[in-house]
Amino acid sequence: KGQLDPHFYDKVCPQALPVIKSIVEDAIKQEARMGASLLRLHFHDCFVNGCDASVLLDDTDTFIGEKNAAPNMNSLRGFEVIDRIKSALYYVCRGNVVSCADIVAVAARDSVVALGGPSYEVHLGRRDARTASQAAANNSIPAPTLDFSGLVSSFVSHGLTIQDLVLLSGAHTLGFARCTNFRARLYNETWTLEDSQATSLKYICPSESGDGDDNLAQLDGTPAKFDTVYYDWLLQRKGLLHSDQQLYKGDGSGSDGLVKYYSQNSKAFWEDFGVAMIRMGALSPLIGTDGEIRMDCRKVN
């Protein structure tokens, strides 16, 4: 069984990584949130049958894809940016050499860097799935309603640790969530939510189901900057999602200590986040002659 390799494209298409980086930077200049969306895309790919670009496949006659699974529908973004990169690379590399799964992994890293976060070497050589499963997406992506133990089980089932959970949740330093994903926390567990945060969120997210469901709130105080404000917010009981605040309960249990540590130690967060991303990026990739290199990231060849 082969392995991923940071230098996989060095000989076959040396321009691949700089081209991805420049298209990602352009997209983020147009809209900072796109960086958050591209980072999340990699997570939602890797947690469903590994980092194999299954998340990019449209529904077909033979399978229902992941795009309309509950965690993804009306929520996942960035598909057009991936398409743009794919076509640019076809031209630059003179053919179909860079897999969609690798594009997603590199775009996630370049997004983190473009928004002020740490760089890390992306391991490459993933190939693309020939199928996708909506049921798998519904079963494998953790829900924001999960308690600490449920979050841990999800990560452990993917071969990841509690530390990975805390680090990778640090991605919520970027981007937004829809009212429908935090309404229950806002109205049914108000005692776990800091007062001023509750007050301002109630303007964005009315209590009535269906009312303002798609209204957006920031996951931390600086949604276009990769920093440790997400962890600071957890310490202040301002976590937006139920699952966020589950990482810090304030009684010393669970991952309280890790959250405190990363909130106070951005250097450690920078280093450890990259390591955790490399670990997530290595979840059961297709390598060697498995899978294919898709021509169009939305369709199997």
Residue 295 is encoded by which pair of tokens? Answer: 């021509």
> Running DSSP on this structure, what letter comes out for residue 205?
S
DSSP states along 225-262: S-SSHHHHHHHTT--SSHHHHTT--SSS-TTHHHHHHH
Binds ligand HEM by CB under 6 A, chosen from 19, 88, 101, 174: 174
Minimum CB separation from ligand HEM for residue 172, in Å? 6
Residue 36 is a binding residue for ligand HEM (CB under 6 A)? yes
Stretch that binds ligand HEM, among 49-57, 96-104, 119-127, 173-181 (CB under 6 A): 173-181
Binding-site residues, in ranges, read: 45, 48, 50, 52, 54, 66, 142, 172-173, 220, 222, 227
Binding track, positions 255-294, relative to ligand HEM; x by CB under 6 A: ----------------------------------------
Size of the site for Ca ion (CB under 5 A): 11
Q: Which residue has the tokens 């591209």?
A: 38
Minimum CB separation from Ca ion for residue 219, in Å? 8
Binds ligand HEM by CB under 6 A, chosen from 123, 126, 158, 172: 172
- 3-state SS assignment for residue 145: coil
- Active-site residue flag, 44: yes
Residue among 144 and 291 whose Cβ is closer to ligand HEM: 144
Host H or E run for residue 279: helix 266-281
Specify whether the backbone of 18 is left (phi greater than 0), alpha (psi in -120 to 50) or beta.
alpha
- Measured between alpha carbons, how far is residue 211 from residues 190, 202, 255, 290 in Å? 19, 12, 34, 46
Binding-site residues for Ca(2+), in ranges, read: 45, 48, 50, 52, 54, 66, 173, 220, 222, 227
For residue 212, what are the contacts with CB-CB under 8 A and spacing of at least 6?
Answer: 179, 204, 205, 206
From the candidates 44, 123, 158, 242, give the one annotated as an active-site residue: 44
Calpha distance 160→255 (Å, rounded): 14
Per CB under 6 A, contacts with ligand HEM among 181-240 are 181
Calpha distance 231→228 (Å, rounded): 6
Calpha distance 136→206 (Å, rounded): 32
Residue 40 is a binding residue for ligand HEM (CB under 6 A)? yes
Binds Ca ion by CB under 5 A, chosen from 102, 220, 256, 272: 220
Per CB under 6 A, contacts with ligand HEM among 113-132 are none
- Measured between alpha carbons, how far is residue 45 from residues 92, 105, 108, 274 in Å? 25, 9, 11, 18
Using CB positions, name the residue nearest to ligand HEM.
Answer: 175
**Which of Ca ion, ligand HEM, none binds 241 (CB below 5-8 Å, type-dependent)?**
ligand HEM
Binds ligand HEM by CB under 6 A, chosen from 16, 23, 37, 67: 37
Residue 142 is a binding residue for ligand HEM (CB under 6 A)? yes
Give the number of C-alpha atoms closer than 13 A to the C-alpha of residue 176, restricted to the C-beta side: 16
Size of the site for ligand HEM (CB under 6 A): 25
Binds ligand HEM by CB under 6 A, chosen from 130, 178, 249, 260: 178
Residues marked active site are found at 44
Instruction: List interacting residues with Ca ion (CB under 5 A).
Output: 45, 48-49, 52, 54, 173, 220, 222, 225, 227, 229
